[in-house]
Amino acid sequence: MLHIPGVCPHCARECGFDILCADYYSSQKTIAELRKNQWSCPVFGMEESKNMATVYCGGVCAECHKPVMLCLEVDNANLKHLRECVRDPEKRYNGNTPKIASMAPPPRQAWTHPSLPPEVGRAFSDLQRMVWSETTPAFILIGARTVLEKVCSELGANGKTLFERVKDLREKGILAGVLYEWASEIRRWGNAGTHNFEGSKEDAEDLTEFTKLLLQYAFELPARVKEAREKRKVSG
């Protein structure tokens, strides 16, 4: 059995992959090694040894059992042992950990933007990973509310409760119109998660999308407008 550590592109869990089959083993030999056996004809190859072999594998996530294709790079010295482990379920691979050179489906990328305050960016990346790994929806609703708390403190809100802080930002003209509505929704759904442990998978996905829009309107768009203005100033 060959198990490769990695983050699943389906469920985003860090549980690795069980490899079921492998093919297209290739090892890159140096031109010097190739010439040893072929005196009479021209030889093309690498100048320096890469010492790495490439293997294409099919496997499943150890947690959600969905399929993945992996291209692995492994030390030439471990290739034979690795092949034996793929063929024999009883054999455990104990060589150097192969490197995942590429993966299909591709790994998921959490949305973020340089304009987001670091704490907000980190919290929202965690929130997206919770959605992918199908964490209990109430926790995601509570998580979205926590992101909103951080947004309010970054935007300089005053007030004892989150309700008061969101209202304060509306009065200051920072969270106006539709932004205020979104923030209020996030606060309300977060409360439902906290007090009654309510919420479906769809609620969690919708609220994460809402939270993304809030972050885009509150941080990304103003940053892009500022950048565009500065560019115009420089050019003319």
Give the residues lining the site for Zn ion (CB under 5 A).
8, 10-11, 61, 63-64
Peptide bond into 118 cis (omega under 30): no
Q: Rounded to the nearest whole angstrom, what is the least distance from the CB of residue 39 to Zn ion in the complex?
A: 52
Minimum CB distance to Zn ion smaller for 8 or for 79:
8
Q: Rounded to the nearest whole angstrom, what is the least distance from the CB of residue 236 to Zn ion in the complex?
A: 52
Minimum CB distance to Zn ion smaller for 131 or for 186:
131
Q: Rounded to the nearest whole angstrom, what is the least distance from the CB of residue 121 to Zn ion in the complex?
A: 24
Minimum CB distance to Zn ion smaller for 64 or for 155:
64
Q: Rounded to the nearest whole angstrom, what is the least distance from the CB of residue 109 to Zn ion in the complex?
A: 16
Dist CA 208 CA 196 (whole Å): 19
Distances, alpha carbon 61 to alpha carbons 14, 91, 209, in Å: 9, 19, 26
Distances, alpha carbon 93 to alpha carbons 16, 28, 78, 84, 160, in Å: 14, 22, 9, 9, 56
Minimum CB distance to Zn ion smaller for 1 or for 174:
1
DSSP state of 46: B
Answer yes or no: are the C-beta atoms of 166 and 184 closer than 8 Å. Answer: yes
Minimum CB distance to Zn ion smaller for 10 or for 187:
10
Look-up: residue for tokens 């209020």? Answer: 184
Q: Rounded to the nearest whole angstrom, what is the least distance from the CB of residue 59 to Zn ion in the complex?
A: 11
Residue 125 gets the label, from left (phi > 0), alpha (psi -120 to 50) or beta, of: alpha
